[in-house]
Structure 1
Amino acid sequence: MAEFKKRLRRWFPTAQTLEQMRGFAWLGHYLRVHPRLWVLHRRGVALGVALGVGIGVFPLPLQMPAAMLVAVFLRANVAAAAAATWLTNPLTMAPIWGLSAYLGSFVVPRQVAAKSSEVMTQWAWSSPQTWPEAFWEQVMSWGPALLVGFPMAGAVLGLGAYAIVYWAWAVLIKQERRRRRRRSATVQ
């Protein structure tokens, strides 16, 4: 675990370097006063990742600053929250939006939640230039279900990310303790 933390610390900027970056000076000052928001511990990192993933689901233009602000208020690891927003990218956008529409269809009445659009069911796989139009029409047909599903998908994915990071951190701690016991047993 100590080796893993050393590697992570090399990647993270310090509070002093954040104070020198344009736009993040306020955060560097705040982190210097409240260093617990930057320390690598299981609960803080797990909560930071969960916040980053949960906020990253929303198609907002400023996901990273929003995740960092929420992490400051909830006392989570700020760097983990900012990094976790990068889970949403052009490759993961379609599955996340599909999950959002699926979850939203449970809340939105059936007559409002639209089924597959005509363009989507008659998708022309042989002509890729028609794909964006078909995809956009499908997204527009989801409408209310998609909008209701974004917070639900954010909550589901965020809770899942929290559980995975918290569990993986616990496994790493157990492995490190076993390794230390073996070292001390061989020395004596």
Structure 2
Amino acid sequence: MLKIFGRLLQDANLWHLNRRSARGAFAVGLFFAFIPVPFQMVLAAAGAILFRVNMPISVALVWLTNPLTMPPIFYGSYLVGTLILNQPEQHFVFEASWEWFLQSIETIGPAFLLGSLVCASIASIIAYFGIDIIWRRSVKKAWLARKNN
């Protein structure tokens, strides 16, 4: 699937692991994990190329939303959207059909999409700064251990 990016995949920054590439990769991967679209992995790869961060981490993190975790994560995103839009929660039963999707876009769609975007942004920001803090602490701990030996 990544062949569509062609020569862009040859950028060494996409495959190196350092603090900058790790924190950016977590931000990109978690952002697209919360966006309810097909081909999340391709979008995460495109984001990694755009921001020149570690692609394997970005692509792997979209699997946070898998068939087991998708229902609670996306339902939580819907609840966040209803809270922001100040709308009452609507009862719905999921069906894997095009008709259900078209009908739902009009009813629960706005709250769900807004909630997904907000959750994606929050997860991305927390991941970016969280990985940065963890990385710095681990380097500091390693330097102190080396200094004490």
TM-score normalized by structure 1?
Answer: 0.65
Check conservation: 2:77, 2:115, Cα contact below 8 A: yes
Cross-structure match for 2:73: 96
Alignment of 1:53-92 (within 5 A): 53-92=30-69
Residue 136 (structure 1) aligned with residue 110 (structure 2): no
Quote the residue 2:98 is aligned against: none
Q: Which runs of 5+ in 1 are unaligned?
A: 1-22, 118-133, 184-188
Tell me what 2:122 maps to: 156
* 1:156 maps to amino acid: I
Deviations 1:84-135 (A, max 9, x none): 1111112322332133122212432x4xx34252xxxxxxxxxxxxxxxx64
1:145 corresponds to 2:87: no
Q: What runs of 5+ residues in structure 2 fail to find an aligned partner?
A: 96-100
Give the whole-Å Cα distance in 2 for the aligned partners of 1:78 and 1:147.
Answer: 25
Distance 1:182 1:72, change over 3 A: same
* Correspondence 1:167 to 2:133: yes
Q: Does 1:30 align with 2:8?
A: yes
Change (3 A) 1:145 1:170: same
AA of the residue aligned to 2:31:
G
Tell me, yes or no, if the aligned pair for 2:79 and 2:89 is still in contact at 8 Å.
no
Which residue number corresponds to residue 180 of structure 1? 146
Task: Confirm or deny that 1:115 pairs with 2:89.
Answer: yes
Distance 1:66 1:84 in 2: 12
TM-score normalized with structure 2 length: 0.79
Identity %: 29
Q: Distance in 2 between matches of 1:25 and 1:90?
A: 26
Q: Which amino acid aligns with 1:99?
A: G
Q: CA RMSD in A?
A: 2.4
Distance of aligned partners of 1:74 and 1:143 in 2 relative to their CA distance in 1, 3 Å threshold: same
Higher RCO, 1 vs 2 (CA within 8 Å, ≥6 residues apart):
2
